[in-house]
């Protein structure tokens, strides 16, 4: 999958997490990028806060795009993906959802999860 230079998400950096602003934004990110790890999080969530530096590192170190969805600001989007707890992590490869995990995962497990689809 190639990135269209005219797409709104094409000029957004991939070496840091992208903050999602609604369903259309998420769909654009997922369709424009090969592998996307989506973190459904909440600011008040302790495990989400612990996961944040891990995701920042993965954004810089891997070929995947890390997208973050604030469930408090995007309740309908979270419901559409069946998010019932935070953090919930979704992996998209070539525009299709291929994984979903609820709860904070260790960095090595997240890295291997990403590498499963980027290699």
Catalytic residue selected from 30, 36, 42, 48: 48
Catalytic residue selected from 45, 57, 99, 102: 45
Q: Known catalytic residue: 23?
A: no
- Non-local CB neighbours of 9 within 8 Å, separated by 6+ positions: 18, 25, 28, 29, 32, 33
- What number of other Cβ atoms are within 10 A of residue 117's Cβ? 18
Q: Known catalytic residue: 45?
A: yes
Task: Return the bridge partners of 97, or none.
Answer: 92
Point out the residues that are catalytic: 45, 48
């Amino acid at each position: 999958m190639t990135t269209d230079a005219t797409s709104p998400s094409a000029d957004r950096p991939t070496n840091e997490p992208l903050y999602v602003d609604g369903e259309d934004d998420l769909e654009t990110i997922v369709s424009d990028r090969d592998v996307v790890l989506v973190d459904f999080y909440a600011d008040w969530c302790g495990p989400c806060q612990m996961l944040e530096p891990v995701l920042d590192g993965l954004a810089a170190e891997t070929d995947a795009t890390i997208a973050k969805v604030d469930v408090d600001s995007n309740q309908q989007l979270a419901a559409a993906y069946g998010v019932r707890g935070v953090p919930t992590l979704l992996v998209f490869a070539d525009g299709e959802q291929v994984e979903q995990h609820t709860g904070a995962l260790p960095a090595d497990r997240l890295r291997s999860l990403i590498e499963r689809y980027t290699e």
